[in-house]
Amino acid sequence: MAPDTAPDKALAGRTAVVTGASSGIGRAIAEAIGGAGAHVVLGGRTQEAMEESMARIKAAGGTAQSHVHDVRTVAEARALVDSAVKSTGRLDVMVNNAGVSYPEPIVDGDPEHWRIMLETNILALLVGSQAAVHAMRACGAEGHIVNISSVASLNPASGVYGATKHAVNCINESLRRELFDDPIKVVTIMPGAIATSFARNFDPAVLELMVSSMGGDTAPAQFTPGGRLSDEALEHAQQTMSEHLCTPEDVAEAVLWAITRPAGVHLASLVVRPKKDLTL
């Protein structure tokens, strides 16, 4: 593994893959890891957003490439890791972050929404983790697999979305034990409410109620179901509801910290949440 060159370039010489890097938490993680010197491979569905992130990483002296794909397809999830290995010959950090939520009661929920959550939040994370282990073993990396869970995984009654995050925690702990004899660490990050486009599939009326109960307003947020919110609207939301919402950068800093601990220290799980809880 390449030696650290400077404290702010702790990941120089490493290669990192981040899924869901076109928005929110994944975008912030990709930019933080790129800023720390790693070559970052951003995976997502929205090329324009990834180009903006790559430009910021390059302006900070880093290198990056993007890969448009659908993580719900096994071959496409694997192809993201392959593209990183093809470009740099190695993989050191894998962040399985892409995730979706359709908050519906089980009794009236749509099985197609369950399928999307199961395939995005669980299947893609499993495929990405497996591909990463193979790639890290092949290059002898002291690797990190960072899987994004949620505080919903700490709530026994958090619906189908929460069930996918309970599964993530179980997968991570199982993987951590499977890798006892490998120099690969598995990190579980459990964010609380973070100002991102995560609520894109929420019922706008329910969302409005949630926001007003936290003292915020939805005026700047033009919600199109399934659509992403503008950075300005998200910034406004975070600033007006700062006790209830953290920033994606708060999560990215925790990830960066977790993957830059000394070899003998394993940060197995971290909760990053605002001061006041919000049930998602």
Ligand X SMILES: NC(=O)c1ccc[n+]([C@@H]2O[C@H](COP(=O)([O-])OP(=O)(O)OC[C@H]3O[C@@H](n4cnc5c(N)ncnc54)[C@H](OP(=O)(O)O)[C@@H]3O)[C@@H](O)[C@H]2O)c1
Active site residues: 161
Interactions with ligand X, residue window 48-107 (CB under 6 A): 70-72, 97-100
Gap between the Cα atoms of 200 and 221, Å rounded: 11
Tell whether residue 191 is a contact of ligand X (CB under 6 A): yes
- Of the pair 148, 237, the CB lying nearest ligand X is at 148
Tell whether residue 210 is a contact of ligand X (CB under 6 A): no
Q: Which stretch binds ligand X (CB under 6 A): 15-23, 106-114, 236-244, 253-261?
A: 15-23
In sequence order, what are the residues at sequence separation of 6 or more whose Cβ sits closer than 8 angstroms to the Cβ of residue 72? 116, 119, 120, 123, 124
Least CB distance to ligand X at residue 218 (A): 16
Contact status, residue 211 vs residue 193, Cβ threshold 8 Å: no
Gap between the Cα atoms of 155 and 160, Å rounded: 12
Least CB distance to ligand X at residue 94 (A): 14
Gap between the Cα atoms of 25 and 102, Å rounded: 18
- Of the pair 102, 176, the CB lying nearest ligand X is at 102
Least CB distance to ligand X at residue 277 (A): 11
Q: DSSP labels for 203-260?
A: -HHHHHHHHHHTT---TT----TTPPPPHHHHHHHHHHTTTT-B-HHHHHHHHHHHTT
Interactions with ligand X, residue window 218-257 (CB under 6 A): 228
Tell whether residue 114 is a contact of ligand X (CB under 6 A): no
Least CB distance to ligand X at residue 22 (A): 4
Options 14, 17, 20, 175; binder of ligand X; rule CB under 6 A: 20
Contact status, residue 28 vs residue 3, Cβ threshold 8 Å: no
Residues lying near ligand X in the complex (CB under 6 A) are found at: 20, 22-26, 44-46, 70-72, 97-100, 120, 148, 150, 191, 193-194, 196-198, 200, 228, 280
